[in-house]
Structures are given as C-alpha cells and as structure tokens.
Amino acid sequence: MIIVTGATGFIGSCLISRLNQENFNAIIAVDDFSREDKLVNLEEKRILERVDREAFFDWLDNNYHEIEFLFHIGARTDTTEFDRSIFEHLNVEYSKKIWQKCIEYQIPLVYASSAATYGLGELGYDDNESLIPQLKPLNPYGDSKNEFDMWVLEQEKHPFFWAGLKFFNVYGPNEYHKSRMASVIYHAFCQIQQKGTMKLFRSHHPNFADGEQMRDFIYVKDVVEVCMFLMHHRRNSGIYNLGSGKARTFLDLANNTFQAMGVTPQIEFIDTPEDIRDKYQYYTQATMSKLRSIGYSQPFRSLEAGVEDYVKNYLMPGKYL
C-alpha cells in the first residue's frame, strides 16, 4: 500500500495518476472528502481505500505493516488565509504526527514543503538546510511550512528515508477547484476564453517593468516524476527545492497561453491588490543542483512545452490527469 494525503487535491491526485501508470494500485487516499468539487479529481483512478484525514492515524495504527511508502502532500495552502490556528493544526501538528508514525512504523516519507518559505528571497533560493532558520516567509502559510522544516531538522530520530520538497509555482491539470489559489496559467486560460484578453498585475517595483515579474514555474507532471524517483531512490534524506530552475516572466506565460489557444495576445495591466502588494514576490528561481547531485537526471519541461500540454490536452477539452 502507498499512502497519499491530500489525495483529492491538485498535486496529490496527479501523483495518484502517475502511481497508477506504474501499476501501483493499492493506494490509500487520505483527505477531507466533503468537498464535492474536488472528488472529480479521483474519478477513474485505482484506489484501494479512502480514509478521512481525522481518522487516518487510527487507521494507520491498524494497517502500518502493509504500508510501503507515504506521500504527505495534504496541507492548507491558501496564502491569503491569516487564521494561524488552521495552519498550526493542518500543516504543523498533523505533519509532526505523520513524522512520528513514520519513525515508529519505519515508513519512508516524502512531504510537501513550499517555496513560500523563502519570503522575498533575501537569502536567495538555495535549499541549503543551514539557511532554513534564517528564512522570513511572508504569510502564515509560509510560516507553517518553514516551522515544520525547522522542526524536522531539529529531530534526533528520523524515518529511515525522508525528503521534504519545496514546491515552487506548480501548474497543470486537476487544479480546477483552487479558485484564487490556482496557477496564473489557469486564470489566464479562463480570462482569454471568456473575454479574449488577459489581465496581469502592474509592477510596483522600480527594477521590474509591467509583466516582467518572474517566477519559477514547474509543470505538475515534472513534480510527480521527482516524487516517483524519490520513492525508488530512498537515499540522501533531506529538504530539496523542486522548481524548473529557470525563472520566466508573466508576459512569457501569458503569451504562451494565448499561443496554445490560437488567440492573438491582448494583455491589460491592473494594480496589484493592496492586501498582497507588500508581500508580492517579484522573482523566484529554484537552485536545483542538490536534487541533481543525488542522481535525478530527467530534464524539466520548458514553460512553452508545459503550457502547450496543459492548455491543449486538459484545459481546452476540460480533462483531468
């Protein structure tokens, strides 16, 4: 059995699809299954059992001897949520309990961290673990992810293999339910489809022209390939960046979305909302040498290739991965 928490979510459901491709069909899907709009992400996937996240630890105590691997992808990921108690329960305390169970039952673990831990990037985007205590996230979500990373590094006992993955700007199929938190590619597609135009945030930074803000965008299919690699690798425990390693502008993203849809680009600029303006990242780029150094050699898709696949094979026909 392989456990995937956050199973109905964006990355979790794509990971299950990839596991099924490799004939891993004894999947234990862990999540809060009350949201109807997310359940469609699990349709046509081979899953052995669905376990509610609040009942999961009792279930694990009874079934641990059959577990081969645990992917802890589930989390509250809303960067605009400021109720810290929600993050403390779902992102910190729940993750600590998973860590402790993985030690107790000797289950290898991959868990989701986030590039939100890097804040404004004052210290760069290097996954050197000695820098983690100095990072300054910009919101409670980023704080919760960094708090757990720091806690992990302080532990004397570990699962025999573990890895934390700092996801950068992930985009791709199965994010239809994420509303405001969906990728900019998804929002671009919806705007272009409805109005023929797309709105981008105006720059409020003297070093960046409008639309020239840059992010490390990574296609979800590349994210799950790294997860598969780590499941088989099971050496070199640690915290790793997971981005493409190449920052691209929002203008690049927008133009590629228009092109994939066969629409002439029309882009308007609007002010960045004031509630996020002082916490807005103008540049992110993952340093990927650490993951490469342990043997991950597959190339990451270019923005052009990822956007084309996402738009033509999923968004336009309304399909899921």
Q: Which of these is catalytic: 111, 118, 125, 141?
A: 141
Q: Does the annotation flag 280 for ligand binding?
A: yes
Do the beta carbons of residue 202 and residue 151 sit within 8 Å?
Answer: no
Angstrom distance (rounded) from CA 204 to CA 272: 8
The pair phi, psi for residue 295, each rounded to 5°, is: 115, 5
- What CATH superfamily is the domain 2-172+218-245+285-300? NAD(P)-binding Rossmann-like Domain (3.40.50.720)
Measured distance CA(121)–CA(127) in Å, rounded: 12
Q: Is 289 annotated as a binding residue?
A: no
Is 141 among the catalytic positions? Answer: yes
User: Any binding-site annotation on 64?
Assistant: no
Distance CA 89, CA 80 (A): 17
Query: Which of 233, 195, 234, 216 is closest to 283 using CA atoms?
Result: 216
Nearest Cα to Cα of residue 170 among 3, 10, 321:
10
DSSP class of residue 89 equals I
Choose the catalytic residue: 178, 199, 246, 279. 178
The secondary structure of the chain in percent helix, strand, coil, rounded to multiples of 5, reads 45, 15, 40
* Residue 27 DSSP class: E
What is the full per-residue pLDDT of the chain (321 aa) written as tens digits? Answer: 999 999 999 999 999 999 999 999 999 999 999 988 899 999 999 999 999 999 999 999 999 999 999 999 988 766 666 778 878 878 899 999 999 999 999 999 999 999 999 999 999 999 999 999 999 998 888 999 999 999 999 999 999 999 999 999 999 999 999 888 899 999 999 999 999 999 999 999 999 999 999 999 999 999 999 999 999 999 999 999 999 999 999 999 999 999 999 999 999 999 988 878 877 889 999 999 999 999 999 999 999 999 999 999 999 999 999
From residue 33, alpha-carbon distances to 9, 25, 122, 198, 248 in Å are 10, 20, 39, 34, 35
Please report, for the chain, the start and end positions of each structural domain, with discontinuous segments joined by +: 2-172+218-245+285-300
Measured CA to CA, the distance from residue 260 to residue 187 in angstroms comes to 14
